[in-house]
Amino acid sequence: LFGLHTAYEDKFKPITHSTGGYLTQVYATSRWIGLRPHDTYYCTVWPGWITGVSYVVFGPLMIGSTILLYEGGPDWPSWDRWWDLIERYAVTIFLATGGALRLLSKQDSSHVRDHNIDTLKLILVTAEPLEASTWRWAYSVIGTSYAPLIDSIPDKLTGRIPVVNMYIQSELGTFITGNLVNYTFPPLKPGSVGPPIPGFNIDVINDSSISVRESIGRLIIKSPWPAMPIEFPEDYESLWSRGFYDTGDYAVMDSDGYIYVLGRRDTVMKVSGYRLSPGAIEEVIESNLHKQTLVVGLYDDLRFESPLVIVEGQVNTDDVKRIVRDYIGPIADPKLVLTIKRMPNIQKHILRSMLKEALWSSEGSLEVVENVLREFLNS
């Protein structure tokens, strides 16, 4: 039916989705999340990414919903752009990434309150971990319409519309977790991506492949699903090597079966909800500047992660940023470019893993980068 590229550690690689299984899964999940023929639906995710393909191109069209398409950011000509669109076109379902909501939450709330967005009945969030504070902002500032039939937190009886965070991957094809307002609607838990949706045998396991609850482990899927890709790289095949599909994400599953996704275990970066390959960024810099390069994800309080670029030798940092923007896109704009005299003589995937672990355990302190690099240079 279609192919798209998704990020692995060394580069972007193609996967191909089929027709029957994929479309069946998209249709079912589109209905379950609440899409109906009379809805006007606005998804801010690009159609080039799996959320946009499944929930802009195929899902709403199969349901018969009206789709609002807008090319541009939320800040032009002012920070009320999205709320103006929702008011003008009477949008009923709004979907955005966690990074977009995080950015909007930093702006003056009057941008939202100056518009009548009472047509909204559902807010969907996806693509990256969503901290409880941003969820509460969306719930209290955007989701103020009255929706007594599908209350977000039934025990509070607030009547506010739901803000539902959901988990998706390119390889999976659709959402696989979430509180389904048009199927079963258990109470929402801020910070969670909800319980597994029907048809997905999801678990969290430790390094011994034993199921764990209330502690950090690997997020896995134990059984096949309808929208499995029919063509894929070896990287995807290797994720099944232990008899289950390993998503590559750390997560916690609580005693009620709700899942809290924490981030990638590998060095693939999650930037504003989009998976980016560090190897692909390294390749475009090295081919243009002929300098050894290393890229690792650095924590970003708006984008969740941003690329940290380390280049051997003297370079113009503006040139590095321009190359990344031109060849990969603005989404990959480096947060920081560092230069070192000599790159350690060690395999890149090992060095990336060491740096990522050190950076995330130290909350992004750049001193740990120097320490790790110095350790390898002196060994």
pLDDT in tens, 287-301: 999 999 999 988 888
Q: What is the mean pLDDT of the chain?
A: 88
Asked if residue 82 lies in contact with residue 74, where contact means CB atoms within 8 angstroms, the answer is: yes
pLDDT reported for residue 153: 52
CA dihedral 309, 311, 315, 318 (to 10 degrees): -10
Mean per-residue pLDDT, 354-367 = 73
Backbone φ, ψ for residue 294 (5° rounding):
-130, 135
The residue written with tokens 């937190």 in the block is 153
Is residue 280 exposed (0-12), middle (13-18) or buried (19+ Cβ within 10 Å)? buried
pLDDT at 334 over 90: yes
pLDDT at 37 over 90: yes
pLDDT reported for residue 161: 82
Whole-structure pTM value: 0.83
pLDDT digits (tens, 9 = 90+) for 196-232: 999 999 999 998 999 999 999 999 999 999 999 998 8
**DSSP classification of residue 211:** B
pLDDT digits (tens, 9 = 90+) for 180-197: 887 777 888 989 999 999
Q: Which residue has the higher pLDDT, 67 or 368?
A: 67
Q: Which helix (H) or strand (E) holds 24?
A: helix 20-32
Residue 151: pLDDT band (50, 70, 90) is: very low
Alpha carbon distance 294, 338 (integer Å)? 10
Mean per-residue pLDDT, 316-333 = 93
User: Within 13 Å of residue 329, how many CA atoms lie on the same side as its CB?
Assistant: 8
Angle between helices 348-361 and 278-289 (to 10 degrees): 120
Residue ranges per domain, the chain?
2-264, 269-378
Report the CATH fold assignment for 2-264.
Answer: Rossmann fold (3.40.50)
Asked if residue 28 lies in contact with residue 296, where contact means CB atoms within 8 angstroms, the answer is: no
pLDDT reported for residue 365: 65
Alpha carbon distance 355, 294 (integer Å)? 10
pLDDT reported for residue 376: 62
Backbone φ, ψ for residue 108 (5° rounding):
-65, 130
Q: Does domain 269-378 have CATH number 3.30.300.30?
A: yes
Backbone φ, ψ for residue 162 (5° rounding):
-70, 145
